[in-house]
A and B are shown apart, each in its own frame.
Chain A
Amino acid sequence: MRLDLVEKWGLEMKVRQGASAVEGPSALVLGIETSCDETAAAVVRDGKEILSNVIASQVDLHRIYGGVVPEIASRKHIELIMPVIDLALKEAGASPGDLDAIAVTYGPGLVGALLVGLSAAKAMALALGCPLVGVNHIEGHIYANFLEYPEVDPPLVCLTVSGGHTDLLYIDEYGRYDILGRTRDDAAGEAFDKIARVLGMDYPGGPEIARAAEAGDPTAIDFPRGLLQADTFDFSFSGLKTAAINYIHNLRQRGEEVPVADIAASLQEAIVDVLIAKTLAAAQAYGVKTIFLSGGVAANERLRSRLRELAAADGIRVYYPSKVLCTDNAAMIACAGYYRYLRGERASWELNAVPNLRLGEG
């Protein structure tokens, strides 16, 4: 079914082994996610069993622009939304009538992009007569961990890092979030992307920097570590961004060779240092023994391994989702939506996209 689209847009399918057709009394939630440049739909049973997880990435489409172009993203979402939903249902072996709830991302994100998924979700819920649940995208990223490790319970500290956000949270029970800190300027992933661009790397820059860093010396350049010593859980990456860009420009002006690998390794180290220090400090301050890592930058190996290593010394366990669940996906939205559904939360038909939605609001 629709193999042309699978090939054309690189639809990625991830079906967990052991997932069987729909049977037995359980809640099936369809998740829909269109907040940025991924059109995604997933069917998840009881908030933990992924029956399907379809992600159509537009990353190639935006590469020539060096970043996500909102109007182009929205146009692609409207083309892909129904094929992606259809594929998610078929992969799950479910028909629309089997669904118990529709969960959809309504913010934060690009407003035009969010509206495509939100409109489709509302219409599906209306037509099927099943509840509509609005989900915060960041909350979705957090639930990617609960999805993968259903046995882990709060209290915990969660660091969500991606191209759009850097949020440090304390979660003392399901559905309750205390925002301890967030970035005061650029998101961590944004800093990666922008510096990668100056280095002439492809968009998105994070994975490119990580690849280049493997051959570099992380101590080669002493880039600034914003707010590292400050008594706050907030982050700041604009100083680092400016320092790195100036460093590269100066070398170029003098006609000297740009040591890409060393810059990448040192830059990654500076970002990872700050992320880890703040996260560990938060875990200590709140006396928790569990740390969640989520969001696109949670796929960064250096961040994963160093945080795990340092945390282990304090007897703290670190969890992060598998890579497909680190990127924007709808399984995490279905999972977060399932818990809201269990709590009896229902979205109004007037639900609108909220581009700057914050956790704990609405």
Chain B
Amino acid sequence: MRILAIDTATTTGSVALTDGEQVVGEYLLNIRATHSERLIPALLRLLEDGEWSGDDIEGIAVATGPGSFTGLRIGVATAKALAYAWQKPLVGITVLEGLAFQVGFAAQWVCSMVDARHGEVYGRLYRTEGLPEAAGDYWAGPVEEFLQQVLETAAGPVCFCGDGAAAYWDAVQEAAGKRAVKPVGNSMQLRASSIALLGRERFLAGERDDPLTLAPMYLRLSEAERKLKTRCSAGCS
């Protein structure tokens, strides 16, 4: 099965083409330019270099989040519109699962973390035996609290990956000590090929998402909604 995958969740953005379990091509950029400016040019270049046209694509996979709200929407809107116009099946894969997939060979317990800024992360703990399996709930909040939870649940060494792990490595080391496993740098960043290969698993299992309604996974309310909630719980009505 030939799959096109897109990730625009963090400042790292990538697109990939996979055929079966093989990566045909992958283009990753970790620069300041916005995804809006670089996504379609990257996609076009990859299709051209891979000598693929729209007809060659059998499925589209997109990283749904968590990550930068705006970045996620650029990727998800693009993937949905491509799937709609090309009439191809679409599947959304979380960034956290994609990250765990990348280090599946390295450790049984993998903790994926995306930087949510100000000492907070989005995260989830997985057990990996080839493919990642969730071993806890999604997390959005202070990194220390999350680490404590993860270390209580997991037994033995835990591999910490994602830009959240990179940003708060000191906290990880302090909490996990010798149990902390740090992957090599390029496994810390999500690659679209991981989204494609996980998407393939999903497609083969007969699953797919609706290209009209697929939405990003934010794991967090907007600032305005949070403030309103705090105000209300403090006693408005």
Contacts and interface: CB of A to CB of B under 8 A. Distances in A.
Report, as a range, how many residues of chain A touch the other chain: 35 or more
Nearest to B84: A82
Interface residues of B, number: 36
B171 interface: no
Main secondary structure of the interface of B (DSSP, over half): helix
Given A86-B212, A126-B44, A119 B224 contact: no
Contacts of B85: 96, 123-124, 127-128
A95 B86 CA distance: 12
A96 B88 CA distance: 14
Contacts of B34: 352
B73 A72 contact: no
A123 B81 contact: yes
Contacts of B216: 78
Contacts of A74: 69-70, 73
Main secondary structure of the interface of A (DSSP, over half): helix
A120 B76 CA distance: 9
Interface string B195-237: 0000000000000000111011010001111001000000000
Nearest to B80: A82
Given A115-B36, A353-B36, A127 B70 contact: no
A355 interface: no
Given A82-B80, A82-B81, A86-B212, A118 B69 contact: no
Contacts of A352: 34, 36-37
Nearest to B81: A123
11 contacts: A72-B224, A78-B76, A81-B77, A81-B81, A82-B212, A82-B213, A112-B69, A115-B73, A122-B40, A127-B86, A352-B34
* Pairs A-B, 4 closest by C-beta atoms: A127-B85, A123-B81, A71-B222, A119-B77
Interface of B: 34, 36-41, 43-44, 54, 69-70, 73-82, 84-86, 211-213, 215-216, 218, 222-225, 228
